[in-house]
Structure 1
Amino acid sequence: MRTEAKREEILEVATAVVQERGLDGASMAEIAKRLGGSKATLYGYFPSKDELFVQVGFRLVSKQVSPVLAGLRERAGNDPRDVLLELGNRLMAATTRPEALATLRFAFAQGGVSNLGRTFFDLGPRKGIDACAEYLGAATKAGRLNVPDPVVAAFQLRSLFDAEVRWRLHLGFDTSITAEQIRQVVERAVDTFLAAYGTAAAPARADHRARRPYSE
Structure 2
Amino acid sequence: MVRVRTEAKRDAILDTAVEVFKERGLDGASMSEIASRLGGSKATLYGYFPSKEELFVHVALRVAGKQIRGMYEDLEARATDDPQRVLTEFGKRLLHRVLAEDATTAHRLAVAHGRIGNLGRIFYDAGPGKAVEAFTRYIDAATKAGRLHAANPGVAAHHLLALLESEIAYRRSLQFGEAISASEIDQCVDRAVPVFLAAYAAPLTGDKAT
Q: TM-score when scaled to structure 2?
A: 0.88
For 1:83 and 1:151, the matched residues in 2 are separated by 18
What residue in structure 2 maps to residue 123 of structure 1? Answer: 126
Instruction: Check the 8 A contact 2:56/2:106 in 1, yes or no.
Output: yes
What residue in structure 1 maps to residue 89 of structure 2? Answer: 86
Mapping 1:1-216, distance limit 5 Å? 1-201=4-204
1:48 Cα shift? 3.7
1:55 Cα shift? 0.8
For 1:148 and 1:170, the matched residues in 2 are separated by 32
Measured on the aligned residues, the alpha-carbon RMSD in Å equals 1.8
1:50 Cα shift? 3.6
Any stretches of 5+ residues in structure 1 without a counterpart? 203-216
1:170 Cα shift? 2.1
Name the aligned partner's letter for residue 155 of structure 1.
Answer: H
Name the aligned partner's letter for residue 134 of structure 2.
Answer: A
1:78 Cα shift? 0.9
Residue deviations 1:124-180 (CA, integer Å, cap 9, x gap): 221211111011011001100011111111111111111111222321123522222
For 1:10 and 1:112, the matched residues in 2 are separated by 23
Name the aligned partner's letter for residue 20 of structure 2.
Answer: V
For 1:72 and 1:102, the matched residues in 2 are separated by 26
Name the aligned partner's letter for residue 20 of structure 1.
Answer: E
Name the stretch that deviates more: 49-58 or 77-86.
49-58
For 1:201 and 1:90, the matched residues in 2 are separated by 27
Instruction: Check the 8 A contact 2:50/2:117 in 1, yes or no.
Output: no
Instruction: Check the 8 A contact 1:129/1:154 in 2, yes or no.
Output: yes
Name the stretch that deviates more: 54-63 or 170-179.
170-179
For 1:201 and 1:22, the matched residues in 2 are separated by 50
Residue deviations 1:25-48 (CA, integer Å, cap 9, x gap): 322111112212211221233344
Name the aligned partner's letter for residue 119 of structure 2.
Answer: L
Report SS of the residue matched to 1:143: coil
For 1:102 and 1:199, the matched residues in 2 are separated by 38
For 2:58 and 2:115, the matched residues in 1 are separated by 18
Name the count of aligned residue pairs. Answer: 202
Instruction: Check the 8 A contact 1:28/1:49 in 2, yes or no.
Output: yes
